[in-house]
Amino acid sequence: MPVRGEATGFPKSARPLNMVSMISFDVSTRAHTQMIDITDRVQSLLQRSGVENGMCVVFVPHTTAGVTIQENADPDVQHDLLVALAHAVPDELPGGGYRHAEGNSPAHLKTSLVGSSVTVLVEGGELVLGTWQGIYLCEFDGPRTRRVQVKAVRG
């Protein structure tokens, strides 16, 4: 199980979750930049929700971490995505172009490129993902603890 971190927001009882409410869990990242497969945790919440058909929204409420759907078969894809983003968004700009005093502008920019949410269709209680697709939390300013918010909607 590649996902690490403390779970929060998981009700202890076995009764179905009320998906009118948003459910969240935390993920502890272990590197400055990292992609972590959270598909199983999202699917687990979805199954407990009782939502059979509809859609599932996964939202990351951070400005230096995002979420995306990417290949889950070859880990080199995750590596290559992070390397390419590092080239696209350099740590330093010529002439010291970044102004943000916190010094983590590259992390903010990468987050905007990746995005803060994904929406996945739900059929038969399952996330409708392609064979090689997984949902990834994208850390760009770690390591730290990140929150993932999930809401399933019937329809």
End-to-end CA distance of the chain: 31
Contact by Cβ (8 Å): 111, 63: yes
Phi-psi region of 38 (alpha: psi -120 to 50; beta: other; left: phi over 0): alpha
Per CB under 5 A, 126 contacts Zn ion:
no
- List binders of Zn ion among 19-38 (CB under 5 A): none
| Cβ nearer to Zn ion, comparing 28 with 63 | 63
| Cβ nearer to Zn ion, comparing 65 with 135 | 65
User: In the bound complex, which residue of the shown chain has the CB atom lying closest to Zn ion?
Assistant: 102
| Cβ nearer to Zn ion, comparing 75 with 90 | 90
| Residue 100 CB, nearest approach to Zn ion (Å) | 5
Region binding Zn ion by CB under 5 A among candidate stretches 49-57, 69-77, 81-89, 96-104: 96-104
Contact by Cβ (8 Å): 141, 75: no
| Cβ nearer to Zn ion, comparing 78 with 105 | 105
Query: Cα dihedral sign for 31, 79, 6, 145?
Result: positive
Region binding Zn ion by CB under 5 A among candidate stretches 51-59, 71-79, 101-109, 114-122: 101-109
Any idea which residue has 């497969």 for tokens? 37
Q: Binding residues for Zn ion, how many (CB under 5 A)?
A: 2
Q: Which of 68, 78, 104, 111: binder of Zn ion (CB under 5 A)? A: 104
Per CB under 5 A, 102 contacts Zn ion:
yes
Question: Which residues fall within 8 angstroms of residue 93, CB to CB, at 6 or more apart?
Answer: none
Identify the helix (H) or strand (E) that includes residue 143. none
Instruction: By CB under 5 A, name the binding residues for Zn ion.
Output: 102, 104
